[in-house]
Structure 1
Amino acid sequence: MSSRANVQSPATWKSRLSQTGWVLLPLRMFLGITLVYAGLLKFFDASYLDPNSPNGVQAQMLASAATSPISGLVTFSAEHATLFGLSIAFGELIAGLGIVLGVWTRVAALGGLLLSLSFFLTVSWGTDPYFFGPDIVFLFAFTPLVIGGDGGVLSFAAVIARATRRRMRLAVPAPAFESQEIVADVHRRTVLRTGATVAVIGAGALAVGAIGRTVAGNTPTASAPAAGVPAATAAAASGSATPGGVKIADAAS
């Protein structure tokens, strides 16, 4: 039987279904792609950082502060909406790329979990009953990835680890028993190379974000402040911020 036929055999697929990485792969890809998409939407949306737009991040933060259990923190964030808005978008993009590519997957999933938690405590907090809000679902959906990681399946970190062993002229895959010195050396080199990869991914995400904000800056927004009063302030004061645009919780909605 050919190797290709063996890969496609029922026994192989049955074995894969018992491996954490393969079981979590659909969930991992969905969550990762969703985060990347949400981050890109924010970077390329002209109204996202517009303080005069009722659909901007500042208006949504001010509206959420009225019901959020962390209203003080949300109000502080609204006062620095550009910084926190960009941090949310960048966090979604970098966490999503990490999850999809399998680079420090547990750390990236933890980032997604914390983002979902922040959305749950703000924009979704007033949802009744609670299970109608998507953010609590995303919050728990990230938990298996935080616990199990990518299992080395479609993982760039696993590729780096194998390449490191080959460069050190060690057996691939690693044998069942290996000296602690070799294990520590392989781990150290793998972490350094993976860290360099993360730096490249981060730089790429920053470049994409800069391009997105440039494009968004050249796109006229539909909002028009009345009589010199910012629409975000007016919406917050009336408690009637209109849903729409790119919500701060798009990573989980």
Structure 2
Amino acid sequence: MMEGTRDSLESDGSGAEQPPVPPGRRERAAGRRALASRYALLPLRLFLGVTFSYAGLDKLADQHYLAGRGDLQSFYAQTLAAKAHSPVGALLEPALHAPTFFALLIAFGELAVGLGTLFGLWGRVAALGGAALSLTLFLTISYNVTPYYLGNDLPYLMAWTAMLLAGTPYLSVDGYLARRAERDRNRGLTEDAVRRRTFVDGSIAAVALGGAGLLLGSLTATFVRKKSKPAAGKPAAPTGQGGAAVSVAAAQVPVGGSATVTDPATGDAVYILQPSAGQYCGLSSICTHAGCTVNPPSGGRLDCPCHGSRFDAATGAVLAGPAVKPLPKYTVTKNGDRLDLGPLQG
């Protein structure tokens, strides 16, 4: 009898018996928990969809992205810089032979993955594409980031893995097609007919969404992207004059600007800079964080477009991480009207 009485009461942990929770309240709480579990991945899905859609459009709108070999911020230059430090560097060779094709493939691929994830259309296929892109970026850009958690491509890969496992069954085109397929089964359609109808309608939706993405990307590239203008850091033709392996005309290096030459020992691009009147130095263009090519000097600093590191344009010192090591510095000597690139300083 006493046992039955205890079963009908609950404790709040203080030893005092409490009245039982009414069944209606318990059911509502369970319903809220079930609803939260159902939509638990929705914030992650929206974040990934918006981020990858924006990333694709941002590349297409970037005046430097498709600029080619002459621009240190282009897809070609970034890929060439990553090739020397990537564990899959040999696999990047095709991208260097056809940079425009691969650059557009990545940009439109990100846009397709983002839109597919946002609308929940073929969600697992979109997640697989997102995982492939993140894995590629991790192996080429973020692989050498130390410690590893400072790189952002590996967390994206893990996020896409979760989406790949879960799919997009709620608030999505996939969810609508799945519910309609269940109604078709209940009204007697054969499984083959249900699958065929679902595949055809899903394909039509994919073509429509893909066409919209292609149009959006093309309009962005046509009307938003501006043509690249020659920058202060434009490549200069190195010569063997002045007793140095590499030199550049002093007139090509304005105060606060730079010219770009190549280190004959490593093949890396080097900025020859004039931070202040009459002061010259050379700084490697390769970011010490993950091997990206830093932008030409602006406002007395060099910014890395990959992860946001900043370096002092006069000394190469780190102004903002995640980089922790300064840019390698070269001696620059003025010889008449030319600037000679000297050895790498210790």
- CA distance in 2 between counterparts of 1:212 and 1:30 reads 21
Q: Is the 8 A contact 2:71 2:77 kept in 1?
A: yes
- CA distance in 2 between counterparts of 1:116 and 1:232 reads 31
Per-residue deviation, 1:96: 0.7
Q: Is the 8 A contact 1:117 1:136 kept in 2?
A: yes
Aligned to 2:80: 62
Q: Is the 8 A contact 1:59 1:233 kept in 2?
A: no
Q: Which amino acid aligns with 1:203?
A: G
How has the CA–CA distance of structure 1 residues 70 and 136 changed in structure 2, closer, same or farther, with 3 Å as cutoff?
Answer: same
TM-score by length of 2: 0.59
SS at match of 1:23: coil
Per-residue deviation, 1:97: 0.6
Q: Is the 8 A contact 2:67 2:228 kept in 1?
A: no
- 1:131-184, CA deviations, whole angstroms, 9 ceiling, x for partnerless residues? 21111111111111111101x21111222444x55xxxx847x65xx87x6233
How has the CA–CA distance of structure 1 residues 15 and 232 changed in structure 2, closer, same or farther, with 3 Å as cutoff?
Answer: farther
Identity %: 35
Aligned to 1:102: 120
Which residue of 35, 55, 58 maps to 1:16? 35
Q: Report which of the two has the higher share of strand.
A: 2
Q: Is the 8 A contact 1:44 1:213 kept in 2?
A: yes
SS at match of 2:235: coil
How has the CA–CA distance of structure 1 residues 247 and 195 changed in structure 2, closer, same or farther, with 3 Å as cutoff?
Answer: farther
Aligned to 2:152: 134
Which entry has the higher C-alpha Rg, 1 or 2?
Answer: 2
CA RMSD of aligned residues (A): 2.8
TM-score by length of 1: 0.79
Aligned to 1:50: 67
Q: Report which of the two has the higher share of helix.
A: 1
Per-residue deviation, 1:115: 0.2
Q: Which amino acid aligns with 2:163?
A: L
Per-residue deviation, 1:110: 0.5
- CA distance in 1 between counterparts of 2:207 and 2:183 reads 28
How has the CA–CA distance of structure 1 residues 211 and 64 changed in structure 2, closer, same or farther, with 3 Å as cutoff?
Answer: same
- CA distance in 2 between counterparts of 1:88 and 1:184 reads 36
Which residue of 80, 85, 89 maps to 1:71? 89
Aligned to 1:120: 138
Per-residue deviation, 1:72: 1.2
How has the CA–CA distance of structure 1 residues 221 and 204 changed in structure 2, closer, same or farther, with 3 Å as cutoff?
Answer: farther
How has the CA–CA distance of structure 1 residues 75 and 193 changed in structure 2, closer, same or farther, with 3 Å as cutoff?
Answer: same
Aligned to 2:213: 205
Per-residue deviation, 1:216: 4.8
Q: Does 1:186 align with 2:194?
A: yes
- CA distance in 2 between counterparts of 1:138 and 1:87 reads 19
Q: Is the 8 A contact 1:39 1:92 kept in 2?
A: yes
Q: Which protein, 1 or 2, shows the higher relative CO under an 8 Å CA cutoff with sep ≥ 6?
A: 1
- CA distance in 2 between counterparts of 1:201 and 1:32 reads 14
Q: Is the 8 A contact 1:31 1:96 kept in 2?
A: yes
- 1:75-133, CA deviations, whole angstroms, 9 ceiling, x for partnerless residues? 32122111100000011000111111000000000000000000000011111111211
- 1:42-98, CA deviations, whole angstroms, 9 ceiling, x for partnerless residues? 111111111122111111000000110111111321221111000000110001111
Per-residue deviation, 1:245: 8.1
Q: Is the 8 A contact 2:236 2:260 kept in 1?
A: no
Q: Which amino acid aligns with 2:268?
A: A
